[in-house]
Each structure stands twice: as structure tokens, then as C-alpha cells.
Amino acid sequence: MPLVSTPDVDLYVEETGNGPPLLLVMGLGASLETWVAQRDVFAQRYRVITFDNRGAGRSGCPDAPWTVPAMAEDARAVLDFLAIERAHVLGVSMGGMIAQELAIRHPERVDHLVVALSFARPDPIRRTFLLHRSWARSHGAEPISESIAHLPWLLSPATMSDGARLASILDLVGTMPFMSPEAYARQIEAILEYRTLERLGEVRAPTLVLAAPEDVLTPVELSEEIAAAVPGARLVVLRRGGHGVIVEYPDDFNRVVLDWLERADDAAARRA
């Protein structure tokens, strides 16, 4: 598919499947290939749209500064390009922040919202973690080695001690295009300036907030904070997994998302 051109950046987009549109928004430093365990499963029921955030994968890397609101406008531009007036939106980690912002800024574009493994503000621990990762990349740390060093923040202890599963995840990481240190730093700068907590009451889309019980990067209490602030939001804590649950235990993650969206679609069809 051709790049989506905006005044700021060219964005690489892919889509697959048919049905109600479902926009997937990925997290820090990751390209759309990270959705490998979700894309085809979701495409059995939905028109799945994936894209590389600015600086990631095959998308462009505009000049700084970058902000989460600007990346939310990138997501809106993808919908505009595909002539999609309204879509379900699922965001993971930083993608969950972008999804929150999209739902606040453009409520008419978001049918149902899924915010997974995310937060509404960076606390001191998250800030320190992100600043260290940015420092490491900017000082020449090799991307794969740097990613391996931070795996305990991203994966559950069960996965860390399971050699076969860990190897398969590292194989996935090795196939992804890595961001430049400059682009990585700009995404982190956007996250560090991000805060929606006081504005989450403006979200109008029915919202599912997903957390993983062994997530040390965005622990359950941060998802509880989002769910408490979004009117009528439902919080689900998955039965296992860490921050990387979408690749650790994708069947668990996919089942919860699909069950919730399919119930919503069935209810809408009955009303129609």
C-alpha cells in the first residue's frame, strides 16, 4: 500500500480482512510487524488496519518536537486516507496513549476503544526507565542487545525462564526494523510529556482497559487509574503475562479483545 502523506510525515499502512474497521496502534519503538499474532486472527472478523508510527518501520521521521497528540493526528490521517469515518481502535502501551488521545480529540472517529498495557501519565519510575533506554540508544547501544537487557521489564518470569518461548520472541524482535536513536528518543520525549488523566472523562467511546498481572512496566494499578477515569470503562486483568503479553500469550489477549468487540458489534446489529 502507498504511504499516507500528511503535512508532517509519510506513514506506512497495511490492511487485511473484511468487516467493521479495526485500527491497531503499536507502542514505543515497534513496527507493525509486532501485530503478527493478532493481525490474521482479527482479520477473520474485521478489516484490520495497521501502520508504523512516525519514526518506526517504514514511516518517515519528521523533525522534533514530537507529541502524543501529533501521533493521534497521524492515526486520524490513516483513517482519512482509507475513507473510514469510524473505527474500533486498539492501542498497546504507547499506542494506548495515542488511542486515548484520538478518542478525546476525535470522539466521532472512535466506535469502541481498547487501551491495553498503558498509562495516563508517566510516573517517576516509568520516566527513569524510558530516559535510560533513550540514553543507551543515543550512546551507541546495539538495538538487539539493548532490548535483551530490558526483557525483564517486558516479559513475565515464566517466559524469561522458558528457553523455547524466549527464543521465538527474540526471533520476532530480530526481524523487526529498528528505529534510529534519534527517532527512538523523539518517541520517548513524546511519552514523557504525555498526560490525559484529567481529560479521560471526555472519552465517549465504550472502553475496555486491559492489564497483565505480571506487567512491571505498566502495572495493573495504572490500568485501574485509566478505567476509573473513563466513564463506564470495563477493566480486565488477563490471567497471565507481562508487558509483552501480545507475543507471550497472544491467544489470551486475542480472545478477550474479540469477545468484547464481537459482543459490541452484535448489540449494534440488533439495534440496527
DSSP-derived 3-state class of residue 93? coil
Ranges of each domain in the chain: 4-271
Q: Whose grid coordinates read 502495572?
A: 219
- For the chain, give the longest Cα–Cα distance: 57
| Residue the block writes with cell 477493566 | 235
CATH 3.40.50.2300 fits 4-271, yes or no: no
- Burial (CB count <10 Å: 0-12, 13-18, 19+), residue 8: middle
Question: Which pLDDT value is given to residue 20?
Answer: 95
Taking the alpha carbons at both ends of the chain, their separation in whole angstroms is 33
pLDDT in tens, the chain (272 residues): 678 998 889 999 999 999 999 999 999 999 999 999 999 999 999 999 999 999 999 999 998 789 999 999 999 999 999 999 999 999 999 999 999 999 999 999 999 999 999 999 999 999 999 999 999 999 998 887 888 888 999 999 999 999 988 888 888 777 778 889 999 999 999 999 999 999 999 999 999 999 999 999 999 999 999 999 999 999 999 999 999 999 999 999 999 999 999 988 777 767 66
